[in-house]
Amino acid sequence: TVNASENKGIERIALSGEGTAHEVVGVDGSRRFGCRPSSGFRLAHTFDIYKDFSGTAARPFSAVAPPTQAKTSTITDCYPIHFQISEGEFGHGFVYRVKATGTTNSAIYMDFVPTNTVDAATGWRTVLISNHHADAGGHILSTDRMDVVSMGRYVYIFVQGRPVRVFYTQFNDHFQATATFTFGDTEFDDHNSETITIIDGNGLSKTYTIKNDYSADASNLEFNAGASPNVAATNLVNLINGSTGHNGTITAVANPDEGGGALLGKVVLTQEISGAAGDTTISHTSNWDAICDTNPPAAFSGGTPTFTHKIVDGGPGPRPQAGGFGQQSEPANFVTTDGSAGRGTSYVEGSALQGKMVSAAHTSSPTIPANTDFNLFKKGNYTFGYYLHDSLTGRRTALTEIVSINEDNATIPDQTNGNFLGFVLEVDTDLYDQVFMFRSVKQQSVGGTYAGSIMHLDTIYDINDASIDTEAQLGIRTDQNYPENIKIFQLFYQLDDIALAMQDIYLDKLVCDDEMPFAGSAVPFENTLIVADPRSSSSTDLVTSTDSRVRNIGELRWSSLTERSPELFPINNKYSPDVYQNRVIRLCRAGEFAIGFSRDRLYHIRRNGIFLKIEEMHSGFGLAADNGYATAGPMVYYITRKGLKAVANNGQLDDVKALDNLLLEDWYEDMESLRLSFDPYISCLFVHNPVKEQTVCLWFSTGRVTELHDTCFTDVSSGIFARTYSRNSYDDTTPTPTTSTTMVERSFFLQNHPSTTAGEIPDNWRPRAYLLDVDREKVQVGSNDIAAGQPCIRTLDFPGDSIFTVHSVAQGSGTTTLTLKSGTTGTKTLSHASSLLSDLVGAKAYVLTSTATDTIGTNKHILSHTKGTVNADGSGSMTITTKKSALIEGDVIAISPMLVRYVGGALPMVRSQDGQVITSFDLFQNKQLSSVGCHFTDVSGGVTGYKFFRGLAFNTESDNAAVSAFPRDFSGTIIGDSIKAGESEDYAAFTTTGLTTTGRHGIQDSSLNPAIEVFVPDLDFKMMALICRGRSTNTDTGERNT
């Protein structure tokens, strides 16, 4: 009886015991019983690598365009991502690095889809992430270490040695609705007494009437058409803006100059009130449109709150500067006078925001409203500070420089004794909407100077609630020296010392880097962000503490541990390895701990309150492959030069011995290329070898180990995706989720084209991402052999038929082009006539039958193909192009069948002793295997005449099968339907002899491993038993007396 779990921990010939298997390929390991073919991979997404970013509108942050991509370009790194937008709304997608062949210059793109409207659009879109300007480091190099972290609302994109890029969505609720129309150049006065009714955001409705007989009465909201359309526009605008019109609740502009000269006759209306309330209706009489070239819309638009995506450099930016009362250095050029506030010279974009302390009383100027609850300070020593915060995204600045007031200073007592204290400060309202105000209690009341270091949260001001008051200076903007987004606010402290003492304390470090560290790996951990091996941060805060003197030597760094501020990196939150060669290159989290991987050892990371505890461990068991690690439940699995290992939360290191021989022998040369990914939805850990195109599957729910071959993927990584989705297998439309879509974490397999030669790649090629179809949701589309909707059991996901006959062969330089015919009296379909993709690219074409019998079972990659109807006589020029092959006319091929192979353990000795059947493994007994058969159940699907298996036998001489055979009839023809329910009626008989004995039938050796192989498409079955026929004989040694 077969055991559907392989053991490649030891050599094949040494694998013995009942129920053992050396290799189980192409089997669905999610089920416990029998060997059932996997249904293969299902198409999830296609990548838009040809997106045009040459125009500046598509890359507002990068003055330099990214490298132009072509069909030879490849995706070198791919990271599934997800992010929150608002309550119940989210987005997901992929961040990927793409490079052209022959260069290391690359770019980073993001494909994403939100569940709501972002950037005034729904559905999938592609945006540029990387900044290619020289100031940002120029083009991204494909060789630089990269990582991507999804953390709440944010997606952080790390490339070692470059500024971190941050993606998020921003809610905009301050837009003012607008409406425009244009009077006709000659039609403006064609009709008299036509009316238009306009409603402001507060519901005030006004009806305006045009007069072409010059009888307008403004008190009746009438205006004259005048002598030209621009006069008509001006007259209407004056009426709307006037005291009898909307009088400011709607602002009207006539004949605006929008960069190309005045637009005569045009009227632009803007609501004073922001938001959706301004999207009011506009109505008019029937002939109003007749006097316009551009008609009025049915309603104002643009006021509805919207979401837009933002891509910025990570980090809090320059720390806000603060001072006051001569105690600190005054902020440069920052002045405050009665009734005005701001800088004496123009604000320079990107410079540090500034603030200055002020004091005021009821009787002084600026006057504080009498009904305020501001705190009247008592004479004493205090410390003050604030930071700016965005309530929607959670981003904030570092705390300002501390401003202290000392009563011993001759000028200070007058400021503190019986006065209100606060800050006049600058706020970038595009970035922040709140101000967190901190201060200490009176130091003399609680123990002196050290009490000044304990700062409590006094007040959180929402700047959207500020009112313009020239006396109190609340929400004043000085137009002369500031851009639109920078506003000035005067904010006062509110709580007395008793109330303040009950408030939260500012616990974090005061000095933080302006920028996030330029790291190549990162991991979110317990509300903080840990990064590894940063290089060349350009922060200005380099030597401001004893801990900041050591930088860029392979250290670990982490963001604030007191709050969720992943962009805020205190300068002394770091750990440096003793040896630079042991620096951490990758980070991974599992439950309550994280692991830092170096090439030689591990680092165990735990959180302890507001500290991280980092311990070095397991010297000699470092990470062998940059992407060779994954988290599965409470364990971290990773590839070492000593095999696959697992680390538990207590740091214990365990062996995963089932793959030792595979990793240390068969795959050892490919060790650095291996990829690991855990798919929680199907409870499977994938170990992928992109060089050999083989993938090991460790099924946690069933305890089975299987393999998948012909996995033409270059990477595998995990992220969220819809649990169920509907899509065609032949178009480029990725499913769009909604808020009710169930999302699960899956492993995505990245496919690049198998060739980098332009002539071998079709023009419509695009890289793709696949999921393993464990739910068996792939169904037939457009097949003539199998009815639509029936299960589709193929390695890749494509429509149409799979089995064709070679009509003619054309050999090229390194390629072979096959013209196909249906092989039946009817037609078949190659791919799909409406296909937008090269569906078959990357699939293997297997030889099913051939007069050159040695080629049966061989396969070649498909590089390109046509699409459409394949005729019986080969007309129509439906072709596929493969890598160089020896196929000949008349060969029957199968496109992308799921290869199923079962290689059992070494055949045991079976004998009767004392009435009992005893099995043993004895190398001093020869085994002669003459034929193999199977027991199948649940056989369905497939194409009649192509439902057969091949028997194999492995001996001690080679890693390849020593002999193989198909079930044949007496004429020597392969029995096409040998896979049927029940025990085999047709056996695969080995008619060649082994090397150790001479015989007419079978193979003989001291150790034999029987095997079965199936490479026909769309056939479903369960193999329950492998039946071996033969005998055993003694060897010379076995016959000697002992």
pLDDT at 378 (0 to 100): 85
Q: Quick one: pLDDT band at residue 424, thresholds 50, 70, 90?
A: confident
pLDDT at 994 (0 to 100): 41
- Per-residue pLDDT reduced to its tens digit, 358-389: 887 644 444 555 556 788 888 888 999 999 99
Q: For residue 900, is pLDDT > 70? A: yes
Q: For residue 544, is pLDDT > 50? A: no
Q: Cβ distance 907 to 1008 under 8 Å?
A: yes
User: Would you tell me how many other CB atoms lie within 10 Å of the CB of residue 619?
Assistant: 11
Q: For residue 552, is pLDDT > 50? A: yes
pLDDT at 368 (0 to 100): 56
Report the range of poorest mean pLDDT among 265-274, 357-366, 757-766, 820-829: 357-366
Q: Quick one: pLDDT band at residue 588, thresholds 50, 70, 90?
A: very high
pLDDT at 771 (0 to 100): 96
Q: Cβ distance 810 to 887 under 8 Å?
A: no
User: Would you tell me how many other CB atoms lie within 10 Å of the CB of residue 103?
Assistant: 12
How high is the mean pLDDT of the chain? 87
**Alpha helices (runs of H) in 242-343, residue ranges in sequence order:** none
Output 667 or 413, whichever has higher pLDDT.
Answer: 667
Q: Quick one: pLDDT band at residue 851, thresholds 50, 70, 90?
A: very high
Distance from the Cα of residue 722 to its chain's centroid = 14
Q: Mean of the pLDDT values across residues 730-746?
A: 87
Q: Is 906 exposed, middle or buried (0-12, 13-18, 19+ CB in 10 A)?
A: buried
b/e map of 675-702 (b: 16 or more CB within 10 Å)? Answer: bbbbbebbbbbbbbbbeebbbbbbbbeb
- Per-residue pLDDT reduced to its tens digit, 171-228: 876 678 899 999 999 999 999 999 999 999 999 999 999 999 999 999 999 999 999 9
- The structural architecture, per CATH, of the domain 779-897 is Beta Barrel (2.40)
Give the sign of the dihedral formed by CA 667, CA 671, CA 674, CA 677: positive
Q: Determine the residue type at 305.
A: P
Q: Quick one: pLDDT band at residue 406, thresholds 50, 70, 90?
A: confident
pLDDT at 172 (0 to 100): 75
Q: Is the peptide bond before 366 cis (omega within 30 degrees of 0)?
A: yes
d(CA 179, CA 332): 42
Q: Quick one: pLDDT band at residue 938, thresholds 50, 70, 90?
A: very high
DSSP 8-state assignment for residue 779: B
Token pair for 144? 């630089």
Q: For residue 465, is pLDDT > 70? A: yes
DSSP 8-state assignment for residue 666: I
Report the range of poorest mean pLDDT among 453-457, 461-465, 583-587, 804-808: 461-465
Token pair for 765? 């090629």
- Per-residue pLDDT reduced to its tens digit, 716-733: 999 999 999 887 666 677
Q: Quick one: pLDDT band at residue 537, thresholds 50, 70, 90?
A: low
Enumerate the β-bridge partners of residue 860.
845
Q: Where are the domains of the chain?
A: 178-302, 317-500, 521-673, 779-897, 908-1039
Q: For residue 16, is pLDDT > 80? A: no
Q: Mean of the pLDDT values across residues 853-866?
A: 94
Q: Mean of the pLDDT values across residues 910-918?
A: 57
Q: Quick one: pLDDT band at residue 9, thresholds 50, 70, 90?
A: confident
Q: Is 150 exposed, middle or buried (0-12, 13-18, 19+ CB in 10 A)?
A: buried
Q: Mean of the pLDDT values across residues 300-329?
A: 81
Q: Which of 768, 698, 873 is nearest to 29 (CA)?
A: 698
pLDDT at 644 (0 to 100): 97
Q: For residue 461, is pLDDT > 50? A: yes
Distance from the Cα of residue 242 to its chain's centroid = 54
pLDDT at 34 (0 to 100): 85
Q: For residue 747, is pLDDT > 50? A: yes
Which residues lie below 8 Å from residue 544, measured CB to CB, with a gap of 6+?
511, 571
The two domains 178-302 and 779-897 share their CATH topology (first three levels equal): no
d(CA 569, CA 560): 6
pLDDT at 15 (0 to 100): 76
Q: Please give the share of the chain, as a percent, with pLDDT higher than 90.
A: 61
d(CA 247, CA 30): 71
Q: Which of 147, 12, 150, 138 is nearest to 90 (CA)?
A: 150
Which residues lie below 8 Å from residue 490, measured CB to CB, with a gap of 6+?
341, 358, 366, 422, 423, 424, 425, 472, 473, 474, 476
pLDDT at 339 (0 to 100): 40
Report the range of poorest mean pLDDT among 7-21, 123-137, 155-169, 270-284: 7-21
Q: Quick one: pLDDT band at residue 474, thresholds 50, 70, 90?
A: very low
- Per-residue pLDDT reduced to its tens digit, 1012-1025: 999 999 999 999 99
CA angle at residue 524 from 531 to 588, to 5 degrees? 75
- Per-residue pLDDT reduced to its tens digit, 873-889: 888 789 999 999 999 99
pLDDT at 516 (0 to 100): 92
CATH of domain 178-302: 2.60.40
Q: Which of 374, 381, 462, 461 is nearest to 421 (CA)?
A: 374
pLDDT at 66 (0 to 100): 94
Output 555 or 553, whichever has higher pLDDT.
Answer: 555
Q: Quick one: pLDDT band at residue 101, thresholds 50, 70, 90?
A: confident
Q: Quick one: pLDDT band at residue 33, thresholds 50, 70, 90?
A: confident
DSSP strands (E only) in 365-495: 382-389, 403-405, 420-428, 434-439, 456-462, 486-492
Q: Quick one: pLDDT band at residue 897, thresholds 50, 70, 90?
A: very high
Q: For residue 543, is pLDDT > 50? A: no
Q: For residue 738, is pLDDT > 50? A: yes
Distance from the Cα of residue 425 to its chain's centroid = 38
Q: Please give the share of the chain, as a percent, with pLDDT higher than 70.
A: 87
Which residues lie below 8 Å from residue 57, measured CB to CB, with a gap of 6+?
none
d(CA 302, CA 174): 10
Token pair for 289? 């449109």
Q: Quick one: pLDDT band at residue 317, thresholds 50, 70, 90?
A: confident
Q: Quick one: pLDDT band at residue 918, thresholds 50, 70, 90?
A: low
Output 58 or 2, whichever has higher pLDDT.
Answer: 58
Q: For residue 672, is pLDDT > 70? A: yes
